[in-house]
Chains A and B, each alone.
Chain A
């Protein structure tokens, strides 16, 4: 199949905690992978991406490594802030070139001060 599965939320952490949001995908081949973030009432913003196996995407302290062995692309951050509270979506390309994306269901993250 062509699906993306994220860990179920909501996730609630204290400020400065370590964050992991799991994402696994099914695919034939090695599709480009993305993490998008959605703040309340807004559209999605691209957070980071990886286009081939073993690539590490990083941005704003967040990281994710494309692991073909485990078909995973887990999102991590060493020390979260209140401003990181948002919904996070993992996505993979379904059709390369057309950039048709398949999204996970999203994980709501709340960071308490």
Chain B
């Protein structure tokens, strides 16, 4: 499967635990975007990364949330000390090198549904 791969598909965490969400972009893609979706809502931008660089994190909460896209391996969205309000679907998207954040289509994974109990 050459598409964007996210895992796990479903993640349950108790309040105060850490959540780690992984995203492998499409083969050949070097730009990764994380979005959050609440029920019946659209997607809210969180962060835009290229390999080893955070390009735009304007949508990321200042505390408890971090993201990385290392030279090797998947992109990781990390949420520390989760709270019930973090429950949502988290989507990763990718685009090829040479494209900007908005001038070509994004390819999305099927998301990770985080439930905080």
Tell whether A and B belong to one assembly: no
